[in-house]
Amino acid sequence: MSKPFPIITEVRLTPILIADPPLLNRSGVHQPYTPRLIVEVETETGVLGLGETYGDTTYLERAQELSRALIGMPISAVNAIGRLGRGASTLLDAEPAASGLRGALTTDKVRLSVLSAFEVAVFDALGRHLGVPVHALLGGKVRDAVDYAGYLFYKWAGHPVTESETDEWGAALDPDGVVEQARKFVAHGGFRSLKLKGGVMPPPEECAAIEALAAEFPGIPLRLDPNGGWSLETSLQVAERLHGLVEYLEDPTATVDDMAEVHRRTGIPLATNMIVTSLDEVRPAFDRDAVQIVLSDHHFWGGLLATRDLAAVCRAYGRGLSMHSNTHLGISLAAMTQVAATVDDLRYACDTHYPWQQEDVIAERLAFTAGAVEVSDTPGLGVELDRDALARLHERWKAMPHHRIRDDVAALRRAGPDRAIMPE
C-alpha cells in the first residue's frame, strides 16, 4: 500500500478587493476595485495549497457552503471535488451576473467556478506534498513556456471617482491610443499576439483600430472581442472588413443562431467564451457550426481537469482551443500556465488580464518574456502567498462593502451621462 495522502483539515476563504484600471467593455467599465476570492487548503501535515476565483458575494457564499465538504478529504481526491454540491437544492439560486460577459450565469456555473479554486488549491497541495509541479499531475508539460496575448482595452486615463488607484497607462479611446497601448505591451512583455476588447466604440472605429494594429505590427495575430454586443448585421459588416486581418473574431454577436450565420456567410473563424461556457452548451453550438475556437477558462469550466476535458471535446469535433481570462491574480495565472502547458492542441496565445493588475497576493509576480510565462517546475503551482498583501487586500474588502459585487454597468452609470460608451 502507498502511504495515505494527507487529509484536508482546514479551508480558508479570504475575499479581497484588487485595484483595477478603468477598462471599458460592452457592459460598462471595470470598477476601481474588483472582488476576488483566495482559497487556502491546509492538510494535517501542514501542506498548503492555493486557489483563486471570482470573489463576488454570490461566489463567496457558495464557497463558504461548499468548503465544508472538503474537510476530511485526502488531497488525492481531485476528481471527487467536481461532484461536490452537484444537484444540491440548498444552494442559493444564482443571480444573473452584473456584466453578463461570460454568458448566462447559472447555479451550476457558480458552483463550478467555486470548485475550480478548490481543485487548483488541492492540486497545489498535492504537488507540494509529492514534490512535483502541478503539470506533472496532468500528464506533464508539452511546452516550457505558455504564450499569452497582450490584452488591449479602450480605457479612460483614470476612474471618474476619487476612491481609486491611479495607473500609468493613460487613456486609449481611438486607434492611436490603442496602438500606443499595444506598443507598451510589446515593449514590456514582448507579446506576440494582441487582442482588443471591443463593443465599446462604434464598430467602424474598432475596425480602424484593428487595421492600425495590423499596420503597426505586421504579422502579429490580432483578435477583436465585443462580448456579443453587435447585431447580426453589424457582425457581418465587421467580419467582411476584418476577414484575413484577425486570426479570429470573438463573440461578435450573442446567440448561437447569429454566430452560425456570421460564420456561414463570411467564413471568418469565430471564438467564444459566451455561447459555450459549460458542457451542455457544447453540442448546440457545435451542431450549428457557430463556433470554431472555444475559449477555455479553468475558473468557470470547473478546474484544470475540466479544461483538459474541454480540450478533448474540441479535438474530437475539430475545434480550436484558446483560453479566456477575467481580472485575476498570480495564483490563477500560475494555474492557467500549468494546465495550458499540458494541452498539446492549445495553439493560440491565451488571454490574460494580468498585466493590468499591479497588486497581487503572491510573493513574486510572474513575468512575461516574449509574451510567454515560463512553465514552473517548482512543486505545486510554484507560487508563494504574500500574507501581508493578502491581509491588506482583505482589509480593503472589509472597508468597501459597495465594491463586493462587480458591476461594470453600475460603474459606468456612476461615471455620469457624459462618460457613456457607444456599443453600436
> Residues, the chain, total?
424
Binding footprint of its own copies, residue count (CB under 8 A): 44
Task: Give the Cα separation of 266 and 297 in Å (integer).
Answer: 27
Residue type, 311: A
- Report CA torsion sign: 360, 79, 296, 381: positive
Query: Which one of 107-115, 276-284, 364-372, 390-398 is the stretch in contact with its own copies (CB under 8 A)?
Result: 276-284
76 lines the binding site for its own copies (CB under 8 A): yes
Q: Does 419 engage in binding with its own copies (CB under 8 A)?
A: no
Strands 372-374 and 145-147: antiparallel
Q: What are the phi and psi torsion angles at 378 (to 5°)? A: -75, 150
197 catalytic? Reply is: yes
Does 139 bind its own copies (CB under 8 A)? Our answer is: yes
Each residue 341-360 as x (binds its own copies by CB under 8 A) or -, in order, gives: -x-x----------------
316 binds its own copies (CB under 8 A): yes
Give me the 284-303 binding string for its own copies, x by CB under 8 A, dash otherwise: ---x----------------
| Residue whose CB is less far from its own copies, 72 or 131 | 131
CB burial readout 4-42, b (16+ within 10 A) else e: ebbebeebebbbbbbbbbbbbbbbbbbbbbbbbbbbbbb
Q: Nearest-5° angle of CA 350, CA 354, CA 357?
A: 165
Which segment (38-46, 132-140, 207-215, 352-360) binds its own copies by CB under 8 A? 132-140
Please select the residue that binds its own copies; options are 66, 305, 366, 390, rule is CB under 8 A: 305
Partners of 195 in beta bridges: 151, 223
Active site residue 155: no
Q: Within a 10 A sphere around the Cβ of 359, how many other Cβ atoms? A: 18
Would you count residue 378 as binding its own copies (CB under 8 A)? yes
Site string for its own copies, 90-129 (x = CB under 8 A): ------------------------------------x---
Q: Which of 68, 64, 59 is nearest to 107 (CA)?
A: 59
- Which of 109, 197, 328, 353 is labelled catalytic? 197
Using alpha carbons, select from 171, 158, 261, 244 the residue that is nearest to residue 207: 244
Q: Does 398 sit near its own copies (CB under 8 A)?
A: no
Q: Which residues are catalytic?
A: 197, 324
Q: Where along the sequence are the contacts to its own copies (CB under 8 A)?
A: 1-3, 5, 74, 76-80, 82-83, 126, 130-133, 136-142, 279, 282-283, 287, 305, 308-313, 315-318, 342, 344, 377-379
